[in-house]
Structure 1
Amino acid sequence: MPELDHQLLAVNGITLSLYSAGPADGRPVWLLHGFPECWYSWRQQIDPLVRAGYRVLVPEMRGYGQSSAPQAIEAYELLTLCGDIQAAMDALGQREACVVGHDWGAPVAWHLGLLEPQRVKALVTLSVPFGGRPKRPAIDIMREANAERFNYIVYFQEPGVAEAELDADISRSLRLLLTGTGEVFLQAKPADARLLDGMPEPGAFPAWCSETDFAVYRQTLANGFRGPLNWYRNFTRNWQRTEFLAGRQIEQPTLFLLGADDPVGKLEAYTLKRMAELVPQLEQHLLEDCGHWVQNEQAEAVNTLLLEFLQRRYPA
């Protein structure tokens, strides 16, 4: 990984921790991480992007690491999360950018594309597809569909409950979430179960996440899971506040990558089928032998697809 610059930006009412690398005059590429990850989850993409001539910007998203982690649930509304990145772009004088997002970083990327059609020139999203604004809040649909069985997003809704479980042993919780095969999210169990119920003790570290790598992830969550979990608690607010975006398409050239073994592929099967209607310039790739942690599990394939896409649609 190249030498990184680090700064703390005062933006949008918080402190945003930002790592960056590459030529100061390079075209900006933002890499937005998801749950429960960190800026370091992009470690295998930074150097290839820098060598291709891009200015790479990798924030610790709100609630993680050295960035601010407000206690209030409403502080993690989707438009506020987008506002963090928009304000950082403003502070850095960026009039154009490509935004890359994985997991929760993907909805932020999708909505930055909607909010900033002139500034955001290209999008790359991993794992989470774009389905547009639903007719009612997604959490209402999830609760109805999972009234008799466990669903991790529904479980995350009650403040304090998931935190108590996950914060009891942050290292174990994080290892189970990061190094499992997805069963932690798709287990068939009663509605009143806990997230990690029935999970075995963590096994060996996978090839893509050494013990040294894991230490960086663990440090990012040193203050616990409350901030990251609050991202999940704003489905209704997000739905209410994005009414003005209803019906809009993603106009930018877009690359979407999904692991063939990613549980999100099963959970979002309907959205995946109709995404091309909402993203006219969409290019999609399914990566075999790949789970949810796409940019790490299949780093070489991701980098090849990412750079080829950028060279065509957002050249350095």
Structure 2
Amino acid sequence: MESFDAGGEVRHWSAEVNGISLHVAEQGPAAGPAVLLLHGFPELWLSWRHQMAALAARGFRALAPDLRGYGDSSAPTDPAAYTVLHLVGDAVALLDHLRLPKVFVVGHDLGAQVAWHLCLLRPDRVRAVVVLGVPYFPRAPRPATELFAAFGDGFYITQYQEPGRAEKAFARYDVATVLKKFYSIELDSITAPPGVEIIDFLEASSSSPLPWMTDEELGQYAEKFQKSGFTGLLNYYRMMDTNWRLTAPWHGAKITVPAKFIAGKKDTGFESFGTKRYVESGGLKSNVPDLEVAIIEGHHYLQQEQAQRVNTEILSFLDKFSEN
């Protein structure tokens, strides 16, 4: 993969941490305040290319790993290797490897879940957190699959639970088409009709390929997913019930780290499951007391679609801590 060269050269390296190899893309001065960037599904470090350049230009040290299961990082086949404790453990081990006692954290989508839980489990390692797309929800009274059962078998998370099912469905398309389908996701496409696989129900954008991604960039993503496959990514969803059991000791706990939540007005996840009401009614703030919220134009992949606005939101928040 070619380095994205803006605001300074992107450096690539790997570290053996927490029993796996993590590939990390880094940009900015090594002595600058560190910002750990955690991508979502189905993405890579490359999803942060615009933020890395902006952070580096402001003197921050941007660190964007491929999460386990993605890109050039290790992809264990066992679903049990993808619990939230493994994922938070990867982040903590990476900080230890770099001898960074405390960092800023930015997370999106599944990376948002990792960011929130890093704040929950190890607040001593986080200066402040910016989260895109997925707010912090307190631990539910029942496991996730029980809650999602109401949406039926066509619901995407339900379809992802059975090992091999989604992988088989994805394999009917070339990798670039699979990715394009996800990047074009709309609110009415997260639940397929009975008997239809979600990947078949999703429609790819008619643009070439998307207004916020070039053909070359899509090719870079496709090259990595062609090599790694999708099982590691799907295993995150297969551990939802296990995560529910593992996080029982933190039931009712609040996020005490200073936080900023950014969502797109047309984000599928923000518009569904009562998320918008939860955020706007103050439910999120009751669980994350030290909170700022920014609802901006855009869809789910905000850091790429609305890069300049997201950069402004992140930098204005981090600036508040620059002298701390």
Q: TM-score, normalized by length of structure 2?
A: 0.92
- Once the two structures are TM-superposed, the CA of residue 20 in structure 1 deviates from its matched residue by 0.7
- Determine if the alignment matches structure 1 residue 255 to structure 2 residue 260: yes
Unaligned residue ranges in structure 2 (runs of 5+):
1-5
- Classify the secondary structure of the residue corresponding to 2:166: helix
Aligned partner letter, 1:216: Q
Secondary structure of the residue that 2:31 maps to in structure 1? coil
Give the counterpart letter for 1:260 in structure 2: K
Aligned to 1:160: 164
Shift of 1:69: 0.4
How many residue pairs get aligned? The number is: 311
Change (3 A) 1:199 1:242: closer
C-alpha distance in structure 1 between counterparts of 2:9 and 2:261, whole Å: 28
Q: Which has the higher contact order (CA 8 A, sep 6+)?
A: 1
- 2:69 counterpart (63, 71, 83): 63
Asked whether the equivalents of residues 36 and 103 of structure 2 are also in contact (C-alpha less than 8 Å), the reply is: yes
The SS at the match of 1:158 is: coil
Query: What is the correspondence of 1:151-230 to structure 2 with a 5 Å cutoff?
Result: 151-169=155-173, 170-186=175-191, 189-190=193-194, 192-200=195-203, 202-204=205-207, 205-222=209-226, 223-230=228-235
The amino acid across from 2:225 in the alignment is: L
Secondary structure of 1:196's aligned partner: helix
Aligned partner of 2:246 among 241, 260, 264:
241
Within the alignment, does 1:299 sit opposite 2:307 as a pair? yes
CA distance change for structure 1 residues 133 and 198 in 2, over 3 Å: closer, same or farther?
A: closer
Separation (CA, whole Å) in 2 of partners of 1:235 and 1:196: 20
Who is 1:283 aligned against? 292
The DSSP-based 3-state class of the residue aligned with 2:49 is: helix
Cα separation, 1, equivalents of 2:212 and 2:272: 24
Amino acid at match of 2:197: R
Q: For the Cα contact (< 8 Å) 1:61–1:67, is it kept in 2?
A: yes
Give, in whole Å, the separation in 2 of the partners of 1:41 and 1:30: 13
How far is 1:202 from its partner?
Answer: 4.8
Query: Contact conserved, 2:185 with 2:268, CA < 8 A, in 1?
Result: no
Aligned to 1:266: 271
Please identify, of 133-142 and 58-67, the stretch whose mean Cα deviation from structure 2 is larger: 133-142
In the other structure, the counterpart of 1:21 is 27
Inter-CA distance 283–210: structure 2 relative to 1 (3 Å threshold) = same
Structure 2 distance, partners of 1:179, 1:95, is: 38
Unmatched tracts of structure 1, length 5 or more: none
Aligned-residue sequence identity (percent) comes to 38
Q: Which residue of 1 aligns with 2:3?
A: none
The residue correspondences of 1:41-80 to structure 2 (distance < 5 A) are 41-80=47-86
Paired residue type of 1:307: L
Structure 1 stretch displaced more, 202-211 or 80-89: 202-211
Alignment check: 8 A CA contact 2:13 2:24 kept? yes
The CA deviation string for residues 8-43 of structure 1, in whole angstroms up to 9 with x for no partner, is: 110111100011111111111011000001110111
Report the RMSD for the aligned CA atoms in angstroms.
1.6
The two structures have a TM-score, normalised by structure 1, of 0.94
On the 8 A contact 1:257/1:286 being kept in 2, the answer is yes
CA offsets per residue over residues 117-143 of structure 1, 9 Å max, x none?
A: 122010100001101111121221101
- 1:33 and 2:39 matched: yes
In 2 relative to 1, CA 166–87 (structure 1 residues): closer, same or farther, beyond 3 Å?
same
